[in-house]
Structure 1
């Protein structure tokens, strides 16, 4: 269920101490500073999928298959629709069209849903009933959908939020099985996959994961071999095609968490399955609340930013919750009435006392226009590229079209300040033609086609910039690179070969998105050296031909180097226990040098949402993001080769990146 989000706007009030006199004129108004926006077309991210922009339908919505609803979703650019609706999926029986314990509206059966999906032009995603269903029931649904009716439904989830079955606390998700462990869920995923693929081997099976940084991620329940994700991925690795995340950001929109959330999810999938071909789908997502723009422009701006980040990070579908949801807590946000409704379209409901009613049925709320802007900004086959800005209140995303043109989406997150931007490019030369695009401002009821480089407060703007040239015969981009043998200072990057253009391929170049080329080779493997320990690298591979022509960049590869080789000291870190927003960190410090008489250990929290709770076996303090611990009397002296143990409680409110880069008396430890 969506969580409440809160966003505060700050207002600066200036009160003069003395009235101005004729001899003292008011100072001139400050000249607004132009915000630079830089697009690096050589810093490639993910390629835009066919199913990126999605939305949820639910069986309590009588209009889920209606023509006017389908047409509105089509105009928003919705490419995937999910059915039968959140937690109802685990009580819904498709053949009888019943959901014991829940409400099933008329005109919401599977065939009606499919008719609406086809009118929208969207791919369907179906959530099979895990909580009160069986593998045989799910296989029957596949047979009806793809054999009897020929619908060709490709994507099938096994359950909804099945970690919410009570294994980690109060349950909200139905689960009739006596064994509610992640191991049992994994066993059932295997059984479901076998039964469903026996009917149609072309379908894709998705398994439910906890979202990194969101409860109950990282918690190990009694009797389990590890947290939910570890157990599910380890035991169902051979049978799944994609994994499922849900994200309701909480107290703030927290779009700064997305990159770490995705990176941790990818690392978990790679670690526990040993596979690189498993996709990620965000099948439930929403940024709003009555306090922070569920139906108004702050929620829309955050939605556009989140969709772009998630798709640029390689998620193949991001599905808004919900098409119609219903009125919630009513408030005033950014000068407009916010209805606390998590839907894209108005349900025309009223508050319980009848004092406030939503606008006419199917009126688009502001987040609808975020999806519409996204569908104009990126199209399937485009490739996201890196974009940066000189002001944190201005967010930029960019993508390269197959024809060479560049699309740039600019979001002004400020509630009350307009910003003028200047666009600059790396690896791209714009033509002299004027850019075209779209604009949506606070309170607007449609996109306009008059974009401006002066960004109004709480606005979404997309420019399409024509390329000066797009020469034929250039080589193709390399395939998705992978990394292996990562140490503190080295790594091996390998990629599938590119297709040659009109000239032979002469070499491949590996570029660091933080700047600089890391190396080149005529082959498809490069050993990187002289890397910085404890550093996250984002790299691309580019093909260069015999005439100097270059390809588009590969999809990005992200990896993090480890600690340096042990020198005078070594620190071994262990997550001793975790409860979803905090953990016990245990540190074994080994002295590999001369005897120590008095010591200080320091490290830095990787993220601002991590803090020190308490510590033991030393005196612990935190200043900014730096943690310092000094010896206790009983462990002041550490002989050569000796090991001492200290520990702490670390708190976090987002993806938990463990600290590295420990220094003992100023020396970096291995």
Structure 2
């Protein structure tokens, strides 16, 4: 089990009739101190930050039940046509490869856009680099934004292009028909794609595929290369792009490993920002970071509760570090792997957030479109924030509990707490700077192990909470009164999880106010190593009044049923139409 320790800067709980705090009993686990500095901003929640991958092989993406579930989960971005399949997909003919393979007729671009509109999500499209051309991509921009008026802003140029075989044994997983598969060639072609696409619509944003710092093949140099993939690509095309793309599959041999990986995001972001500053010049500050794929691949947990805890922690940590988009892998996925047992739960080894209803190893998944725990992990974010809300500094005295905090537009403060212990409840004591919470019981929205919904209840107080094992709990706090200076938190140059300064007033667990001392390897991260040779709205609230708009949408929502999922043709199995 994970041990809990006391944060010395936070008072141990004492009896308080006004706030309902009670002292821990003898022999109880130490109380974990949580501090929230509501006066220091980490930036605003991105308008389309909570994203999800969808593939052209998923004929059920537009089903009414599916779009309703995505909307309720606060999904604000949909990625299409999906992963490695994008580098073999031709949008105009809705075909893949030589066109001989079966692809659902109701997943073409117009049907996808109809799905995105129904969900209230912004599209992010992956142009075919592997077997396509700059002209094909430019034609797509024209059709999408000139002919149809969809207003698609974000365009990736290829998917995981570094997996084309240039590194390692020369046998990559990513299709790339260019004779030269080097980062130098990708950089040159990236400029050609950007020029052709922006000639059609100068407002589109072009994204460059980078390797994830710390994961393979980051820092690798193949024969003939003068430097690694990221430095080569950005040195050539740094002035032609608007965002960079990484995929975050941190893995881990245990669930505890997986749940601790968000702590590495700050270092990854710092490396990316240094690269962007080095090559983008005066435009560096405007170049965005997009995480267009992430999930628990490479760890034991894909559909069980550990993955559900990993999801909101990962989204919020990336946002706090300045990422503008994070897209979970995947809506529906399917698997050919037999289920496993993880911390007493069945894990179906499926990267989707909704069940594909398939069978493997003699055991079948729940009925199709049943939400996996990962769905509820993502949906938990709707209780924390809405787009444009202000993320503020927070910290935990023990890594077994993660914390994220957001100042809401109505003046309240929401605090998300994640207990990473699969067996033990966690006692937490919270203190606040820049915000004085109202006394009494608080509204909590939670998802616990084996739960099939979000549960709203009046529980605990603003300064004392008991977190169930393996749970996500959001406290929705109201202010006791107008808190001076809290309406406009001050920004910080680099988001960190530091504690307030010595002179900052805080509210302790006893309810008093005072001061406190400032107290990977072979293939990309998450891939197998090669051989040596009921709450809705919120963070992504949706509806007709949302900022994502479409002046025209072609196609109809098709309701397909009873079809067989197709596995993506790459090492990480998924649904991509191939």
Q: TM-score, normalised by structure 2?
A: 0.76
Structure 2 CA distance for partners of 1:516 and 1:156, relative to 1, 3 Å = same
Deviations 1:606-629 (A, max 9, x none): xxxxxxxxxxxxxxxxxxxxxxxx
Does the aligned pair in 1 maintain the 2:215–2:521 contact within 8 Å? Answer: no
Does the aligned pair in 2 maintain the 1:397–1:408 contact within 8 Å? Answer: yes
Where does 1:529-568 land on structure 2 (aligned, <5 Å)? none
Residue aligning to 1:262:
269
Does the aligned pair in 1 maintain the 2:434–2:486 contact within 8 Å? Answer: no
Residue aligning to 2:414:
407
Deviations 1:496-515 (A, max 9, x none): xxxxxxxxxxxxxx999466
Correspondence for 1:82 among 75, 79, 82: 79
* Separation in 2, partners of 1:205, 1:511: 29
Correspondence for 2:367 among 360, 363, 372: 360
* Separation in 1, partners of 2:440, 2:147: 53
Which structure has the highest strand share of the two? 1
Secondary structure of the structure 2 residue equivalent to 1:387 = strand
Where does 1:438-449 land on structure 2 (aligned, <5 Å)? 438-449=445-456
**Post-superposition offset of 1:276:** 1.5
Residue aligning to 2:143:
144
* Separation in 2, partners of 1:220, 1:92: 29
Where does 1:612-651 land on structure 2 (aligned, <5 Å)? none
Deviations 1:222-265 (A, max 9, x none): 22231111111111122111110001112241222211111111
Residue aligning to 2:251:
250
1:110 corresponds to 2:109: yes
* Separation in 1, partners of 2:352, 2:421: 24
Deviations 1:368-422 (A, max 9, x none): 0111001221211112222122222111111112333111000000011111212
Correspondence for 1:427 among 431, 434, 452: 434
Secondary structure of the structure 1 residue equivalent to 2:124 = strand
**Post-superposition offset of 1:59:** 1.2
Does the aligned pair in 2 maintain the 1:46–1:383 contact within 8 Å? Answer: yes
Residue aligning to 1:646:
none
* Separation in 2, partners of 1:343, 1:475: 39
Where does 1:40-119 land on structure 2 (aligned, <5 Å)? 40-100=37-97, 104-119=103-118
Deviations 1:586-609 (A, max 9, x none): xxxxxxxxxxxxxxxxxxxxxxxx
Secondary structure of the structure 2 residue equivalent to 1:207 = strand
Secondary structure of the structure 2 residue equivalent to 1:284 = strand
1:37 corresponds to 2:45: no
Deviations 1:89-119 (A, max 9, x none): 1000000101116652331111111111111
Of 272-281 and 431-440, deviating more is 431-440
Residue aligning to 1:561:
none
Residue aligning to 2:470:
458
Secondary structure of the structure 1 residue equivalent to 2:37 = strand
Does the aligned pair in 2 maintain the 1:433–1:466 contact within 8 Å? Answer: no
Deviations 1:352-375 (A, max 9, x none): x5x210001100000101110012
* Separation in 1, partners of 2:201, 2:496: 42
* Separation in 1, partners of 2:63, 2:75: 15
How many residues are paired up?
468
* Separation in 1, partners of 2:389, 2:320: 10
Structure 2 CA distance for partners of 1:516 and 1:56, relative to 1, 3 Å = same
Does the aligned pair in 2 maintain the 1:218–1:579 contact within 8 Å? Answer: no
1:128 corresponds to 2:127: yes
Does the aligned pair in 1 maintain the 2:312–2:378 contact within 8 Å? Answer: yes
Structure 2 CA distance for partners of 1:433 and 1:515, relative to 1, 3 Å = closer
1:193 corresponds to 2:194: yes
Residue aligning to 2:378:
371
* Separation in 2, partners of 1:73, 1:197: 31
Does the aligned pair in 2 maintain the 1:47–1:314 contact within 8 Å? Answer: no
Secondary structure of the structure 2 residue equivalent to 1:152 = coil
* Separation in 1, partners of 2:521, 2:33: 42
**Post-superposition offset of 1:171:** 0.9
Does the aligned pair in 1 maintain the 2:334–2:352 contact within 8 Å? Answer: yes
Does the aligned pair in 2 maintain the 1:218–1:580 contact within 8 Å? Answer: no
**Post-superposition offset of 1:147:** 1.1
Deviations 1:103-160 (A, max 9, x none): 5233111111111111100000100000100010001001111111111111111000
* Separation in 2, partners of 1:208, 1:46: 25
**Post-superposition offset of 1:478:** 6.9
* Separation in 2, partners of 1:191, 1:442: 50
Does the aligned pair in 1 maintain the 2:41–2:489 contact within 8 Å? Answer: no
Does the aligned pair in 2 maintain the 1:404–1:469 contact within 8 Å? Answer: no
Of 72-81 and 102-111, deviating more is 102-111
Residue aligning to 1:665:
none
Does the aligned pair in 1 maintain the 2:334–2:355 contact within 8 Å? Answer: yes
Where does 1:9-20 land on structure 2 (aligned, <5 Å)? none
Secondary structure of the structure 1 residue equivalent to 2:111 = helix
Secondary structure of the structure 2 residue equivalent to 1:139 = helix
* Separation in 2, partners of 1:579, 1:302: 22
Deviations 1:249-301 (A, max 9, x none): 12241222211111111111112222221000000000256x63211101111
Residue aligning to 2:530:
none
* Separation in 1, partners of 2:487, 2:137: 45
* Separation in 2, partners of 1:59, 1:204: 22
Q: TM-score, normalised by structure 1?
A: 0.66
* Separation in 1, partners of 2:376, 2:434: 31
Secondary structure of the structure 2 residue equivalent to 1:449 = strand
**Post-superposition offset of 1:477:** 6.4
Q: Which runs of 5+ in 2 are unaligned?
A: 4-24, 504-519, 524-578
* Separation in 2, partners of 1:330, 1:30: 38
Does the aligned pair in 1 maintain the 2:52–2:331 contact within 8 Å? Answer: yes
1:163 corresponds to 2:162: yes
Structure 2 CA distance for partners of 1:515 and 1:426, relative to 1, 3 Å = closer
Structure 2 CA distance for partners of 1:365 and 1:516, relative to 1, 3 Å = same
* Separation in 2, partners of 1:283, 1:445: 27
- RMSD, matched Cα: 2.6
- Rg comparison, structure with higher value: 1
* Separation in 1, partners of 2:302, 2:490: 41
* Separation in 2, partners of 1:86, 1:52: 18
* Separation in 2, partners of 1:273, 1:111: 34
Residue aligning to 2:517:
none
* Separation in 1, partners of 2:379, 2:482: 28
Correspondence for 1:280 among 278, 289, 293: 289
